Structure 1
Amino acid sequence: MGSEGAGERVIAGRYRLQAALGRGGMGVVWRATDQLLGRQVAVKELVPDDSPSAARVRSARDRTLREARALAQLRHPHISVVHDVAEDGDRLYIVMELIDGGSLADRIAAHGPVDAREAARIGIALLGALRAAHEAGVLHRDLKPANVLIESGTGRVVLTDFGVAQVEGATTLTESGTFVGSPEYTAPERMSGSDTGPACDLWSLGVLLCAAVSGASPFHRDSLGGVLHAVVAAPIRPPAQAGPLLPVVRGLLERDPERRLDAAQAERMLRDFLETGRTPQTSRRQRSPRDRLVIAVLVAAMVAAGVSAAALFVNGGGGGGGTPGSPTSSTSSSAPATPSISGSGRPPK
């Protein structure tokens, strides 16, 4: 690993690391210069697994490389671009597009919640990003304000930090016995360890819309146990500030994924609101015995795992690679926000 200048070094013979943009449970994100192409990039340096097992370390590196390579194939204006995956010594680096702007979490912290129209604009952009990822067989699994960047000058919304993403057909991070994510934004079916799919990301979007307009997740509680109970069992009370977006929010926050709005429905409703200014309409069904059974099963699962889960779930840095303290980053921002899950136990698939 080369070294150039005070506090700077060159990795893979090409990328000059200049300043740390943020640090998190999975590594450090650097502002860097690609000396070959002469452009600014963000470089995520993944911290090596400190496990004494060489096989486990090798397996973790293989999974990360496989998932990073799959994510590099995603091309969408609202998804952070992965340029390269580089190895230097015993370290693995992911080279990404550098977004000149702060996160949605930073924006809320500095200027307060956004209005319903801005939330709808952000929601439409994220739905486009999620649909592109889902069509490619990729689930984000950590959608939250800290992982949404707003580009300065253009207002472009960019979904970033696929650090805990699940790639179809690949061994995932959770299959090694680790569940990483942000509880307040995690769908109840993931909490219970059930099979998961694109609907999980849509639940997270519903929570994000609530946080965008009110400043906080509706599932925020003072303890992890309280958060888990709020997600899987407590009455869901979207913020009044959601106003005309309430039908969308309620549709996304259906605990039964089969009743949850899909991406196309949610996008249509948000676009209708932006175009007409009227509250979008959606059909609602009375809760069926099957729906009540789904909730009962989720509650039972959490009761069975509750005490041990609280002990096993420890802060994992928000599930992202870095938590920038700088307004310029292409990964998750530092937001005081949500406790994160990173522990062993029965992992979701």
Structure 2
Amino acid sequence: MAEAASVDEGRLVAGRYRLVERIGQGGMGTVWRARDEVLGRQVAVKRLHVSPQLDADELATRHERTTREAQAAARINHPNVVSVHDVVDDEGSPCIVMEYVPSATLGDAIKEATGSGTYLTPRETARVGRGMIAALRAAHSAGVLHRDVKPGNVLLGEDGRVVLTDFGIAVATGTTTLTKTGELVGSIDYLAPERVKGSTPGPASDLWALGATLYQAVEGKPPFRKNTAVETAYSIAVDPLEAPRNAGQLTALIEALLAKEPGDRPTAEVVEQALRAAEAEADTALMGWPTLALGTVGRGRSTGAGSPRCPPGPWRTPAHRWPPRAAP
């Protein structure tokens, strides 16, 4: 693969975008830093992998997914979502031309932290989470489900910007699905229980994946990972969550996002409020000032508004009805 990269360096794509450096690679394609020779700016070019073993139908599906990725991202105009500039053809393969964000991924940051025996702090995780939820709110408002929220698809910009990228398997309102019956598309560790069970995903499914991502940031591992994909899927569907030990102010929120039932998860608006509150509380604690604790919520059941374990606040906003009320 390194030889192929060296061959492609300097090549001109679509008569305009000169490949400079390979900056990322996944199962679907390779991402290059490139120079737009017309506008004189740096861009990112994502080129689809085309295997000679693919039949005509599979090739057409990959082409269609690439086009849809560009269309889905282009529907969202938000600083926390990567901007799409163009879709071009490169020797029969579609390429997405996007803004270039000098960055590392959240996945890289987690690996670096766990490799040194540490974890991301709750404060930094809350800051990253705020960028992610802002991106998801914008996507959902535009009628787009991401369906592959995970640390590897979160860019941490050198300027502090948090950017959600790779809408390769996103679904936009009014489009038909490209998946086969019984096929799971996405990274298994971040598939919500309803998706594992074959139900139709909704915005709450993206929020579950957000919860799994935040959990991994503070714990160093996904919440339900087992030895095999099948065991992981089973655990996601039926096993209780192992409570995070390093989440601090984020514990209650992460546990709520990872609820088995979509209706038991907080809305995106409540998630954003909770992340802001958690970050503010962490800042206050760092300065040594007295803190106003967010409190915790009972797993699966609320202890009632105003109780020591569930104080009034964004958690108890009547319009959102979260956390779930205790059974009568």
TM-score when scaled to structure 1?
A: 0.75
- The answer on whether the counterparts of 1:140 and 1:201 sit within 8 Å (CA) in structure 2 is yes
Which of 213, 222, 227 pairs up with 1:222?
Answer: 227
Which of 251, 269, 294 pairs up with 1:280?
Answer: 294
Residue 161 of structure 2 corresponds to residue 156 of structure 1 = yes
- Quick one: which amino acid aligns to residue 294 of structure 2? P
Distance in 2, Cα, partners of 1:37 & 1:90:
24
Residue 217 of structure 2 corresponds to residue 212 of structure 1 = yes
Count of residues in Structure 1 that have an aligned counterpart in Structure 2 = 284
Distance in 2, Cα, partners of 1:240 & 1:128:
26
Provide Cα deviations, 1:310-337, integer angstroms capped at 9, x if missing partner: xxxxxxxxxxxxxxxxxxxxxxxxxxxx
Extract unaligned runs of 5+ from structure 2. 1-5, 283-291, 302-328
Residue 84 of structure 2 corresponds to residue 101 of structure 1 = no
TM-score when scaled to structure 2?
A: 0.79
- Quick one: which amino acid aligns to residue 120 of structure 2? V
Which residue of 2 is the match for residue 71 of structure 1? Answer: 73
Which residue of 1 is the match for residue 23 of structure 2? Answer: 21
1:48 CA drift (Å): 3.2
Alignment of 1:1-349 (within 5 A): 7-48=9-50, 50=52, 53-54=55-56, 57-58=59-60, 60-111=62-113, 112-152=118-158, 154-175=159-180, 178-277=183-282, 278-281=292-295
- The answer on whether the counterparts of 2:106 and 2:152 sit within 8 Å (CA) in structure 1 is yes
Distance in 2, Cα, partners of 1:98 & 1:160:
11
Distance in 1, Cα, partners of 2:147 & 2:68:
17
- Quick one: which amino acid aligns to residue 117 of structure 1? R
Extract unaligned runs of 5+ from structure 1. 288-349
1:101 CA drift (Å): 1.4
1:224 CA drift (Å): 1.7
Structure with max Cα Rg: 2
Partner of 1:258, secondary structure, is helix
Partner of 2:103, secondary structure, is coil
- The answer on whether the counterparts of 2:121 and 2:218 sit within 8 Å (CA) in structure 1 is yes
- Quick one: which amino acid aligns to residue 47 of structure 2? E
Q: 1:235 to 1:81 in 2, by over 3 A?
A: same
Structure 1 segments, 4+ long, off by >6 Å, are: none
Distance in 1, Cα, partners of 2:51 & 2:7:
28
Partner of 2:224, secondary structure, is coil
